[in-house]
Amino acid sequence: MKKTLAAALMATIGLAGVSVAESHMSEDDLKKAVNARQATMQLYAFNLGILGNMAKGTTDYDADAASAAAGNLVKLSTQNQMAYWAPGTAEGQIEGSKALPAIWEDMAGVGAAATAMTEAAMAMEAAAGTDLASLQGAMGALGGACGGCHKSYRASSN
């Protein structure tokens, strides 16, 4: 009886411990990694919102502000984010994460989704400062690149 419990505990702790060992990061540091990527996502959303509001006409078109927001999206998406996506930080492995385990099983797919966003952001950077019509023309691909990754790799919000 005692042996069975010990074995069960070992299995549980062992499972939880694998990812931490893999990433050589403490639980606290893993949580910081989650915070770092979610902060990046918030910055994506903030800058996309500036562009989206202009595209919709909620705010007046401003070439400089649009260029700045698009440039920020390029810079943010070309950060090396490897450490933000440390193994052991999938949904269910750590509190607050909505990152699906598929991310760690399909690195090529995530990489392609990330590249698609960078390319859309670069296209937006080229278009945003030109005029409102160009900004609007680049909006669909950019928003689609966010949504494309979320569809496959982010748990739907509850």
Residues that bind ligand HEC (CB under 6 A): 34, 37-38, 41-42, 44-45, 48, 73, 97-99, 110, 113-114, 117, 145-146, 149-150, 153-154
Closest CA to 33 of 101, 84, 74, 95: 84
Q: Quote the CA–CA distance of 94 and 79 in Å, as a whole number.
A: 23
Minimum CB separation from ligand HEC for residue 125, in Å?
A: 13
Considering the complex, what minimum distance in angstroms separates the CB of residue 103 from ligand HEC?
Answer: 6
Nearer to ligand HEC, 93 or 129 (CB): 93
CB of 33 to ligand HEC, least distance (A): 9
C-alpha 36/C-alpha 30 separation (Å) is 10
> Which pair of structure tokens corresponds to residue 146?
């966010």
For ligand HEC, which is the closer residue by CB, 14 or 92? 92
CB of 117 to ligand HEC, least distance (A): 4
Q: Which is nearer to ligand HEC, 20 or 145 (CB)?
A: 145
Q: Nearest to residue 87, comparing CAs of 10, 15, 11?
A: 15
Instruction: Please give the Cα distance from 89 to 101 (Å, whole number).
Output: 9
